[in-house]
Amino acid sequence: MTISETYNYLKQVRRLDWTIRRLTLEHDELQACLLPSAIRYDKDVVQVSPEDKLSTVAAMVLELEKRIIRLQEQKAAAITEIMRAVDQLPNEKEGTVLTAYYINKMTMEKVAEELDMSMQHTYRLRKRGVQHLSIILRNK
């Protein structure tokens, strides 16, 4: 696996997470549309929609829920796969940096602070970790 393919491999968790968040927002918006569409005073309709799209919106909400669940399962599988690969790294600090950044979604500043290292050293460990992981994944 090339270096850029390895970076993409590691970034898949963040991409899946972003997609799940986007779909969750869309789901919540659609679910809000399922609230009663009319304000009633003394059982007189004050505001109504021209046609009832409730069943269509409900079907879209259910489809989004299924899609979100599938993506969450993919994300869990990706995390497990990446963690197995990272565990094979010879340098534990490289694995810790890769896990913190790509799996735990910490910023590099936070990773450096948590590990009590300089930013430059943290970036160096990440780069070397990706290079070593690329070799491990290539040999699979």
The secondary structure of the chain, three-state, reads: CCHHHHHHHHHHHHHHHHHHHHHHHHHHHHHHCCCCCCCEECCEECCCCCCCCHHHHHHHHHHHHHHHHHHHHHHHHHHHHHHHHHCCCCCHHHHHHHHHHHHCCCCHHHHHHHHCCCHHHHHHHHHHHHHHHHHHHHCC
pLDDT band, very low/low/confident/very high, at 47 (cuts 50, 70, 90): low
Q: Structurally, how many domains does the chain consist of?
A: 1
Task: State the average pLDDT over residues 124-133.
Answer: 96
| Angle, helix 119-138 to helix 108-115, in steps of 10 degrees | 100
pLDDT band, very low/low/confident/very high, at 116 (cuts 50, 70, 90): very high
Decide if 44 is inside a domain.
no
Count CB atoms within 10 A of the CB of residue 26: 15
Decide if 118 is inside a domain.
yes
pLDDT at 43: 57
Proportion of the chain above pLDDT 70, given as a percent: 88
pLDDT band, very low/low/confident/very high, at 108 (cuts 50, 70, 90): very high
* Enclosing domain of residue 12: 3-39+50-138
Decide if 16 is inside a domain.
yes
User: Is 114's pLDDT higher than 70?
Assistant: yes
pLDDT band, very low/low/confident/very high, at 51 (cuts 50, 70, 90): low
Decide if 45 is inside a domain.
no
Least confidently predicted of 8-12, 28-32, 84-88, 121-125: 28-32
Q: What is the pTM of this model?
A: 0.79
| Average model confidence (pLDDT) across the chain | 89
Decide if 131 is inside a domain.
yes
pLDDT at 54: 77
pLDDT band, very low/low/confident/very high, at 46 (cuts 50, 70, 90): low
